[in-house]
């Protein structure tokens, strides 16, 4: 192929990536996962895509790409792609306002909240997002592969803690996602855990048994066992066992919500029934909240066949009660801890409508605050690495948890 034709092909690919992030596509069958990856990486790394497309354009022009009409058409496609990437960058900037509103509205019941919440930054320093996959933090120490349960490579956790600390630290339990079938403790929520650990928190990221070998509620039992380890053994790592919060994304968001809503239920604590498994708050990211899809949010893209075959291993028709037990939306109650639910409008894997229904159900009964941030244009897993939107999410969650920690400290001192 000639330089003009190659430039046209490369420009079409670049525009395809940009378009995938701009549009909300669903029910793509076998193309759903490739679409998600293209939209995810482009939406969160819009400026990086501008950079590589600009470099490619300069290279092609130097090689003579504008010597024929396909090259000029390619240049038009590239300019259109750049315009779309600017729109995507603007969407990610808008998330700061969305998070600020979620905090303000969700804590409006507390007249002192405004004075206790610090101002969320509207801008993100370029150095914070220039290297999106650089996760190490100089002020954070990591202890790897601590056993928390029966022998087996899945019953291990990692501890992230400040290198310099005094006294016991508030603690975050992070539950990874991966469709209940894949995933590891060292792959997700690293921006959030490093931020909190540098601010004086201890963060615990746990593996758990995976399907199809594991059958629900094995996954939930394992994350509760990790919480029990925090309460009984975590003091050695600086954990304050009296203030523990839980977070997770996707399947981890599902398990985090279930853990928060089933505190001290002995059915999910075999052998450690006496350990307190309540949490001070729950922050689920892009979770799955209704295995039965009772509101028809997913339509023809129903997860029921997959869940029936791989995770639940029983029929929702004959054993509906078990499916309700696995659905956070069916477990809401007035004693639920504070929630901060976070979801993107363009999520191709866990639909935003399900999060809306869950938040509505929780707000209808819970005595505690239920915050909700719905992020325009955000895809699944948007917080996995450093990006503008991820940075705003980390700032907002740190602000929310800091507020709750301050309330706890003031009540403990009273």
The whole-chain average pLDDT of the chain stands at 94
What pLDDT shows up at residue 77? Answer: 96
Distance CA 240, CA 242 (A): 5
Distance CA 180, CA 47 (A): 32
Minimum mean pLDDT among 14-18, 91-95, 106-110, 401-405: which range?
106-110
Mind giving me the DSSP string for 109-127? T-TTHHHHSPPPPSS--HH
Residue 179's pLDDT band, with cuts at 50, 70 and 90, is very high
Residue 270's pLDDT band, with cuts at 50, 70 and 90, is very high
Q: Is residue 152 pLDDT above 80, yes or no?
A: no
Shared domain check, 188 and 274: yes
Shared domain check, 123 and 67: no
Percent of the chain at pLDDT > 70 equals: 98
Q: Is residue 3 pLDDT above 80, yes or no?
A: yes
Shared domain check, 61 and 193: no
Minimum mean pLDDT among 99-103, 286-290, 299-303, 343-347: which range?
299-303
Number of structural domains the chain divides into = 2
What pLDDT shows up at residue 335? Answer: 98
Q: Is residue 166 pLDDT above 90, yes or no?
A: no
What pLDDT shows up at residue 115? Answer: 61
Task: Match 């990006």 to its residue by tokens.
Answer: 387
57-62: average pLDDT: 95
SS3 of residue 157 by DSSP: strand
What pLDDT shows up at residue 119? Answer: 73
What pLDDT shows up at residue 114? Answer: 63
Shared domain check, 136 and 254: yes
What pLDDT shows up at residue 95? Answer: 95
State the catalytic residue, choosing from 137, 156, 219, 380.
380
120-142: average pLDDT: 88
Residue 219's pLDDT band, with cuts at 50, 70 and 90, is very high
Shared domain check, 68 and 167: no
Contact 330, 354 (CB under 8 A): no
Task: Match 């994304």 to its residue by tokens.
Answer: 249
Shared domain check, 359 and 221: yes
State the catalytic residue, choosing from 11, 81, 250, 366.
250
Instruction: Decide if 347 is catalytic.
Output: yes
State the catalytic residue, choosing from 347, 366, 387, 390.
347
Task: Match 């993107």 to its residue by tokens.
Answer: 344
200-226: average pLDDT: 97
What is the 8-class DSSP label of residue 182?
S
What pLDDT shows up at residue 158? Answer: 98
Higher pLDDT, 127 or 308: 308
152-175: average pLDDT: 91
pLDDT (tens digit per residue) in 296-324: 999 888 999 999 999 999 999 999 999 99
Shared domain check, 32 and 107: no
Q: Given the DSSP bridges, would you call strands 202-206 and 370-375 parallel, antiparallel or unpaired?
A: unpaired
Q: Which residues touch 193 (CB under 8 Å, ≥6 apart)?
A: 160, 172, 174, 203, 205
Q: Can you give the length of the chain in residues? A: 414
How far does the chain reach from its first CA to its final CA, in angstroms? 76
Shared domain check, 99 and 29: no
pLDDT (tens digit per residue) in 96-119: 999 999 999 999 887 767 666 667
Q: At which of 41, 73, 93 does a domain end?
A: 93
Burial call 49-84: b when 16+ CB within 10 Å, e when fewer: bbeebeebbeebbeeebbeeebbeebbebbeebbeb
What pLDDT shows up at residue 153? Answer: 73
84-106: average pLDDT: 94
200-204: average pLDDT: 97
Contact 8, 71 (CB under 8 A): yes
Distance CA 328, CA 307 (A): 15
359-363: average pLDDT: 98
Q: At which of 93, 112, 141 does a domain end?
A: 93
Q: Is residue 375 pLDDT above 90, yes or no?
A: yes
Shared domain check, 145 and 60: no
pTM for this entry: 0.96
Q: Domain containing 28: what range?
A: 3-93
Instruction: Decide if 242 is catalytic.
Output: no
What pLDDT shows up at residue 414? Answer: 65
Q: Across the strands, what pairs with 239? A: 169
198-227: average pLDDT: 97
357-383: average pLDDT: 98
371-397: average pLDDT: 97
CATH classification at residue 172: 3.40.50.1820
SS3 of residue 187 by DSSP: coil
Distance CA 395, CA 399 (A): 6
Shared domain check, 149 and 99: yes
Q: At which of 93, 127, 142 does a domain end?
A: 93
55-69: average pLDDT: 94
What pLDDT shows up at residue 27? Answer: 78
Q: What angle do CA 227, 231, 234 make, to 5 degrees?
A: 100
Shared domain check, 238 and 127: yes
Shared domain check, 119 and 71: no
Contact 392, 95 (CB under 8 A): yes
Instruction: Decide if 302 is catalytic.
Output: no
């Amino acid at each position: 192929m000639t330089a003009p034709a190659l430039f046209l092909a490369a420009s079409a690919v670049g525009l395809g990536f940009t378009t995938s992030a701009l549009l909300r596509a669903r029910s793509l069958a076998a193309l759903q996962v490739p679409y998600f990856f293209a939209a995810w990486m482009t939406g969160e790394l819009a400026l990086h895509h501008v950079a590589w497309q600009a470099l490619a354009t300069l290279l092609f022009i130097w090689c003579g790409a504008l010597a024929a009409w396909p090259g000029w058409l390619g240049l038009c496609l590239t300019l259109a792609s750049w315009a779309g990437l600017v729109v995507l960058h603007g969407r990610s900037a808008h998330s700061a306002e969305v998070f600020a509103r979620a905090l303000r509205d969700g804590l409006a019941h507390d007249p002192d909240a405004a004075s206790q919440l610090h101002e969320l930054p509207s801008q993100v320093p370029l150095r914070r997002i220039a290297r999106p996959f650089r996760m190490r933090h100089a002020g954070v120490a990591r202890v790897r592969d601590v056993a928390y349960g029966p022998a087996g490579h899945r019953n291990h956790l990692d501890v992230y803690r400040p290198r310099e600390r005094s006294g016991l630290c508030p603690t975050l339990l992070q539950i990874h996602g991966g469709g209940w079938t894949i995933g590891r403790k060292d792959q997700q929520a690293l921006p959030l855990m490093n931020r909190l650990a540098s601010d004086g928190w201890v963060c615990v990221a746990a593996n758990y048994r995976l399907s199809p070998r594991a059958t629900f509620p094995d996954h939930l039992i394992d994350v509760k066992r990790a919480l029990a380890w925090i309460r009984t053994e975590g003091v050695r790592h600086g954990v304050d066992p009296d203030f523990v919060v839980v977070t997770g994304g996707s399947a981890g968001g599902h398990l985090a919500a279930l853990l928060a809503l089933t505190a001290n239920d002995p059915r999910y604590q075999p052998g450690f029934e006496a350990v307190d498994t309540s949490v001070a708050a729950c922050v689920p990211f892009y979770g799955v909240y209704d295995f039965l899809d009772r509101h028809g949010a997913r339509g023809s893209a129903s997860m029921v066949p997959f869940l029936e075959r791989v995770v639940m291993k029983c029929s929702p028709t004959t054993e509906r009660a078990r499916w309700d037990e696995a659905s956070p939306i069916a477990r809401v109650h007035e004693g639920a801890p504070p929630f901060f639910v976070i979801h993107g409008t363009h999520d191709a894997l866990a639909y935003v409508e399900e999060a809306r229904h869950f938040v509505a159900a929780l707000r209808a009964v819970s005595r505690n605050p239920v915050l909700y941030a719905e992020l325009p244009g955000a895809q699944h897993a948007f917080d996995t690495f450093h990006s503008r939107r991820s940075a705003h999410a980390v700032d907002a969650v740190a602000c929310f948890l800091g507020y709750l920690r301050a309330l706890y400290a003031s009540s403990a001192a009273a």
